[in-house]
Amino acid sequence: MTVHVAVGVIVDAGHRVLLTRRPEHVHQGGLWEFPGGKVEAGETLATALARELQEELGITPLRVSPLLEISHDYGDKHVLLDVHMVWEFAGEPSALEGQPMAWVAAEALGEYDFPEANDPIVDAVAVLLHGQSARGAVQANE
């Protein structure tokens, strides 16, 4: 069974990205992630993303653009991540579910431990916002 997840890469005016840490008792617990959650039956991606960001952080996405889609098999679970950049939002993000959160510079994303399925997001965001991979590899077009 595939778990469909709407993911938001939330960017502030300084091009920092908001990360939250997964609770220890859940799948991939203790790792950092980009906020989001499961798409419910009959729900659009936009609705799911808005609902999850409101529930987790108390914000409403205002300007969103698609980034990428990731299909990843963990062995015990398969996930489909629909990832969107959230360029503008209403409200001040706060950890409504008690989860640790951090604003992180794009070039520092490689210093955080993420679930394996998030690796392509980390790289894409670092290239988009910083011009190089979070792991330090300079892109060929530079």
Query: Which runs of consecutive H residues, i.e. helices, occur in the chain?
Result: 45-57, 119-130
User: What type of residue is 70?
Assistant: I
Residue positions forming the annotated binding site for 8-oxo-dGTP: 22, 27, 33-36, 118
Measured distance CA(70)–CA(89) in Å, rounded: 24
Residue positions forming the annotated binding site for Mg(2+): 36, 56
| Token code pair at residue 16 | 């920092």
Measured distance CA(118)–CA(51) in Å, rounded: 21
> What ranges make up the beta strands (E) of 39-115?
60-73, 78-90, 101-105
Residue positions forming the annotated binding site: 22, 27, 33-36, 56, 118
Q: Residue 12 half-sphere exposure, CB side, CA atoms within 13 Å? A: 13
